[in-house]
A and B are shown apart, each in its own frame.
Chain A
Amino acid sequence: MSWNSALPLLVLASSLFPGGVIFFLSEERVVTRTVLNLAGATLKLLLVGVMIWGVFHGEPYESRLPLLPGLDLVLRADALSLLFVTLSAVLWLATTVYAIGYLEGSPNRSRFFGFFSLCVTATIGVALSGNLLTFLLFYELLTLTTYPLIVHRETEVARRAGRIYLTYTLAGGALLMVGTLWLYTLSGTLAFTAQGFLSTLASSEQSTLIMIFVLLMMGLGVKAALIPLHGWLPQAMVAPAPVSALLHAVAVVKAGAFGIIRVVYDVYGIQFAATLGVTLPLAVVAAVTIIYGSLRALFQDDLKRRLAFSTVSQVAYIILGVAIVGPIAAIGGLVHLVHQGVMKITLFFCAGNIAETLGIHKISDMNGVGQRLPWTMAAFTIAALGMIGLPPLAGFISKWYLGLGALEAGQGWVVIVLACSSLLNAAYFLPILYAAWFKPPPERWPAERSFGRQETAWPLLAPPLVTALLTVVIGLLASAPFSPLQWVHFITTSEYLP
């Protein structure tokens, strides 16, 4: 096995192996566990760095294992998959640090970190999948590995949330499987190919292909939390904060969104999908989701629930970008995959800090938090402003390209949707900022913990600060080489080549 074909496997193994070992560690061996976690995360980052360099210079990275007759398990690194892999690897490192601080002293940490690593492995697998079957495999694996994280608290509420989560995702997985298999019986291949592999099929199959598209979108839309399949996401908020961060920013919702990108671009091909007439309905669904999610977010008093509905809305941007047939909009959508991830994880880290340090869960209790937790709230503010789309932060870049792309593709209504959404974003984020910074703090916080001179424990503080910094940096340096935006440009040139 050559280096190039081993590399994707190694990237997987760098989190799979620590995960497997951690399961068998006893609770008390904190140091071993921490070292394993951090070493795995760092190694993964390094390997991904190597792959980015290689792919940029045209190196092929591909591993194959026979899985079913005629179908292999294919792990392949191309530009698109690396976008997602990099996001996951960076944010995993941040989340691991955060989780170590967050769960300090709580029970069942070995189990938690074991599944945490497996969950990342599944996400990386989703990103590296070279065909739809491999994608399906890791997609289902993701479902299974996130379930123990959601029910981690072992409470009745957690169990209920877990059940709802499973009901949605397993049903979605089944639809995805049916769609995949049906596609396979028609085309005889499932390998992701730039510009798709279905356009050569006979035109008599078109109605079947539309049906399959609907099946696949329903299967993927569950995880991407498209309306009306988003019901599980707010429920899953009972999970510990690092899990929420991971679910929302990286793993689950992004896996769904990423799957939709893959299907539209590399299975159907964007041009063929447009001729089938399936892109416009998808864009409409995404637009509805954007508005609906924002509206719901407006009326939540629970901070994590508000963030959850905000996720519903923001992930739909990505899909909207894909569904507007045009290269510039595509850039906007794809880059939002990264930008939203970085911003949203910052917000969840901060929400976790506020809950962990002060015992505050409700927005109405947040008066004056900024005075007690200035650094945390600073990070929160940056991310929130980014979400609203304030230049020069990350969110602005995505929205700018989206709007531009819509106009270029002659879909003016999208701009209105974007404008509405931005207004709504402002409406549900700005009151929080106002309350935290400008309202007087209460006499006592509900459940305050003291951390000496610092406002909170450093593993809890460092990750949000870093990701907030990233939000600024990727916005400011959007035109630097290897920035997400430039990388997305690189991707779209291959997808939109005539």
Chain B
Amino acid sequence: MTFFLFFALVGIGLFTLGLYAVIVHPHLLRKILAVNVMGSGVFLLLVALAKRSDSVDPVPHAMVITGIVVAISATALAVILMLRVKGETGRVKLPETPQE
């Protein structure tokens, strides 16, 4: 196994870990972290697989840079929402079951 495939698998690991954490952990800050970890996993996969050919493929690199910027935008929004939820409800997690 070549090293870039290894990194691609690490990316998958990160993605899965993040997904699990998003579902399981109720604390919003943790959910935000988990989404970021998931994103990193996807980015890693995207770039690592581009190493398969000898010449570097710059397109995934550009995509990942775009993705990183999108990720921080989403994180900023998530953070402000989290703070507002805390301010309104006094708790940093979502109500467990939506009202039926």
A and B touch in the complex (CB under 8 A): no
Taking Cβ atoms with an 8 Å cutoff, the residues of A that contact B are none
